[in-house]
């Protein structure tokens, strides 16, 4: 066994990059995280942390803190878009917790992000570091940054989101497919929309679009996502403000509670939605992709964060167990890919047919729920153990 501690550089301090850094440090590896943003900031709106993701964060010792910052919906409800009649109701809360072995949380992305960032010593997170080149040789890999600095490591994890720099090389010919839909994510302050059950996941699906509302933790109120038709391809951006007046017009014919929800939105962002075919591979000898960089998917299964967290746990297990052999980190990266590529491709396939399209096509909520059940039940720790790897 070599005396050398594997040094891993993570590009991107999003949910996936930060979770990878936490898991790698717990496994005893040396980690640096490089983030392009000048500071780790409060961008985003509501996010789902499904049981398959929350179970892994609990294994990393974060369960108690998660419970403090997140909401755990007690029920989900589908309402008729025009009359508001409750078409279907399912209990969640303890029942889901028991069924899936972990909580289904809904929370503000910034709160989850801050919780993860707190677990990593500040001097290991290098903000203002935008990676512009990644170059491998036999002994290591170098990242060049826009401001002229460099960092050398044994392995690079590209957790740099959908526009990932290394992804552009691996997926040189891949083109995102504009879905002709957009997600408008908005926030409603506490008390600004009286009458809605505060601890329920609510869905309305009508001719103009689908609306989903969920509670946020930390007394932040309610978040909603509206999936609507979008004729213009606005390009991928996390910071495009939504046109609130247009949103209100879109939902003007919906039942009063849905209408009030969009009318009460204090702020909202516009995300053009794209589908991307799975890549044939994610890794070179010393560099691999993680999270949205590896497998961006439509958001209809609410699995963006949870899949990135699963990747992070799997990669940490592979690198800590196989990363320092005579053939360098390549066998560990191959094993990671074997564990994750086919699984995430199936999740992406499911999210294609999920959500708005299924409901609009007449699928019931029960059917929709069973579509995602296998994803939420997936037990990465058991999978790692079965593969002879240390469970995350
Ligand atoms: P991301 O969360 O996209 O993180 C990628 C990180 O890499 C970012 O911090 C980015 O600044 C950094 N980065 C990119 N390029 C470089 C580079 N060249 N050098 C260094 N750093 C780089 N999902 C929701 O469901 N609801 C939301 O409200 C929501 N808001 C979001 C807001 C932002 C700003 C972002 C980036 C993502 C948001 N998401 C949201 C998406 C969600 O976080 C992801 O789908 C999921 O968590 C997987 O995350 P990831 O870590 O793979 O990638």
Helices first, then strands: H and E counts in the chain? 13, 17
pLDDT tens across 146-156, in order?
A: 999 999 999 99
Residue 186 has which token pair? 């908005």
Q: Indicate whether 325 belongs to any domain.
A: yes
Report whether residue 160 contacts ligand 1, using a CB cutoff of 6 Å: yes
Q: Indicate whether 225 belongs to any domain.
A: no
Closest CA to 347 of 390, 292, 391, 384: 292
Residue 382 has which token pair? 């058991």
pLDDT of 368 reads: 60
Candidates 304, 310, 315, 340: which one to mutate for ligand 1, based on the most atoms within 8 Å of Cβ? 304
Q: Residue 44 Cα, ligand 1 centroid: separation in angstroms? A: 9
Has residue 361 got a pLDDT over 60?
A: no
Has residue 104 got a pLDDT over 70?
A: yes
Q: Indicate whether 360 belongs to any domain.
A: yes
Phi and psi of 36, rounded to 5°?
-70, -30
Are 16 and 289 contacting, i.e. CB atoms less than 8 angstroms apart? no
Closest CA to 287 of 339, 343, 337: 337
Residues 6+ apart with CB under 8 A from 102: 51, 52, 53, 54, 55, 58
Instruction: Kindly calculate the radius of gyration of the chain based on its CA atoms and give it in whole angstroms.
Output: 21
Residues 6+ apart with CB under 8 A from 140: 152, 153, 154, 286
Q: Indicate whether 242 belongs to any domain.
A: no
Q: Residue 98 Cα, ligand 1 centroid: separation in angstroms? A: 30
Report whether residue 17 contacts ligand 1, using a CB cutoff of 6 Å: yes
Could you tell me the pLDDT band of residue 364, with boundaries at 50, 70 and 90?
low
Residue 102 has which token pair? 């972990």
Question: 374 in helix, strand or coil?
Answer: helix
How many C-alpha atoms does 215 have within 13 Å on its Cβ side? Answer: 22
CA–CA gap between residue 263 and residue 133 (Å, rounded) = 45
For residue 312, give its domain range.
7-175+276-386
Mean pLDDT of 318-337: 90
Q: Using DSSP bridges, classify how beta strands 287-289 and 155-158 pair: parallel, antiparallel or unpaired.
A: parallel
Q: Indicate whether 21 belongs to any domain.
A: yes
Report whether residue 35 contacts ligand 1, using a CB cutoff of 6 Å: yes
Q: What is the DSSP string of 50-104?
A: -HHHHHHHHHTT-HHHHHHH-B--SEEEEE-TTT--EEEEEE-HHHHHHHHTS--
Candidates 32, 38, 48, 109: which one to mutate for ligand 1, based on the most atoms within 8 Å of Cβ? 109
pLDDT tens across 39-55, in order?
A: 887 677 899 999 999 99
Report whether residue 187 contacts ligand 1, using a CB cutoff of 6 Å: no
pLDDT tens across 81-102, in order?
A: 999 999 989 999 999 999 999 9
Q: Indicate whether 200 belongs to any domain.
A: no
Q: Indicate whether 33 belongs to any domain.
A: yes
Q: Indicate whether 219 belongs to any domain.
A: no
Domain total in the chain = 1
pLDDT tens across 111-143, in order?
A: 999 999 999 999 999 999 999 999 999 999 999
Ligand 1 atom with least separation from CA of 129? 20
Mean pLDDT of 309-314: 98
Q: Positive or negative CA dihedral for 381, 341, 16, 352?
A: negative
Ligand 1 atom with least separation from CA of 108? 28
Phi and psi of 316, rounded to 5°?
-60, -40
More confident residue, 148 or 324: 148
Question: 390 in helix, strand or coil?
Answer: coil
122: domain CATH number is 3.50.50.60
pLDDT tens across 279-300, in order?
A: 999 999 999 999 999 999 888 8
Q: What angle do CA 7, 10, 12 make, to 5 degrees?
A: 165
Indicate whether this model's pTM tops 0.85: yes
Report whether residue 50 contacts ligand 1, using a CB cutoff of 6 Å: no
Mean pLDDT of 240-267: 93
pLDDT of 16 reads: 98
Q: Using DSSP bridges, classify how beta strands 177-188 and 141-145 pair: parallel, antiparallel or unpaired.
A: unpaired
Mean pLDDT of 354-365: 53
Q: Residue 3 Cα, ligand 1 centroid: separation in angstroms? A: 35
What share of the chain has pLDDT > 90, as a percent?
Answer: 71
Has residue 1 got a pLDDT over 50?
A: no
What are the residues facing 145 on neighbouring strands? 131
What does each C-alpha distance from 28 to 121, 131, 267, 317 come to in angstroms? 14, 25, 42, 11
Q: In what order do the strands lie in the sheet with 150-153?
A: 131-136, 141-145, 150-153
Could you tell me the pLDDT band of residue 62, with boundaries at 50, 70 and 90?
very high
* Nearest-CA residue for atom 38 of ligand 1: 44
Are 46 and 119 contacting, i.e. CB atoms less than 8 angstroms apart? no
pLDDT of 177 reads: 84
Q: What is the DSSP string of 253-312?
A: TS-HHHHHHHHT-SEEEEEEEEE-PPPS----SSEEE-GGGT----GGGS-HHHHHHHHH
What is the pLDDT of the chain when averaged over all its residues? 90
> In 184-303, which ranges are continuous DSSP H helix?
244-250, 256-263
């Amino acid at each position: 066994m070599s005396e050398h501690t594997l040094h891993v550089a993570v590009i991107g301090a999003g949910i996936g990059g930060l979770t990878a850094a936490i898991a790698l440090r717990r496994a005893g590896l040396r980690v640096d995280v490089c983030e392009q943003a000048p500071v780790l900031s409060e961008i985003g709106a509501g996010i789902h942390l499904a049981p398959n993701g929350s179970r892994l964060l609990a294994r990393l010792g974060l369960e108690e803190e998660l419970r403090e910052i997140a909401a755990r919906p007690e029920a989900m409800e589908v309402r008729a878009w025009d009359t508001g009649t409750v078409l279907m109701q399912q209990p969640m809360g303890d029942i889901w917790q028991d069924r899936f072995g972990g909580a289904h949380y809904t929370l503000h992305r910034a709160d989850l992000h801050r919780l993860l960032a707190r677990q990593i010593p500040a001097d290991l997170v290098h903000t203002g570091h935008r990676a512009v080149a990644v170059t491998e040789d036999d002994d290591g890999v170098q990242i060049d940054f826009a401001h002229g600095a460099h960092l050398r490591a044994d392995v690079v994890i590209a957790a740099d989101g959908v526009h990932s720099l290394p992804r552009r090389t691996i997926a040189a010919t891949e083109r995102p497919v504009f879905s002709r839909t957009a997600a408008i994510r908005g926030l409603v302050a506490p008390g600004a929309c009286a009458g809605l059950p505060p601890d329920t996941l609510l869905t309305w699906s009508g001719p103009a679009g689908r609306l989903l509302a969920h509670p946020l933790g930390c007394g932040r109120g309610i978040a909603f996502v509206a999936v609507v038709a979008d004729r213009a391809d606005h390009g991928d951006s996390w910071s495009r403000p939504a046109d609130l007046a247009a949103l209100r017009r879109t939902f003007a014919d919906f039942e009063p509670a849905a209408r009030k929800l969009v009318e009460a939105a204090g702020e909202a962002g516009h995300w053009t939605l794209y589908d991307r075919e799975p890549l044939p591979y994610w890794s070179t000898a010393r560099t691999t992709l993680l999270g949205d960089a590896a497998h961006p998917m439509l958001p209809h299964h609410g699995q963006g964060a949870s899949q990135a967290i699963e990747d992070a746990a799997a990669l940490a297990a592979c690198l800590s167990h196989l990363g320092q052999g005579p053939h360098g980190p390549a066998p560990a990266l191959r094993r990671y890919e074997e564990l994750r590529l086919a699984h995430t491709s199936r999740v992406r396939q499911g999210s294609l047919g999920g959500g708005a399209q299924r409901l609009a096509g007449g699928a019931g909520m029960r059917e929709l729920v069973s579509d995602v059940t296998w994803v939420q039940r997936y037990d990465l720790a058991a999978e790692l153990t079965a593969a002879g790897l240390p469970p995350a």
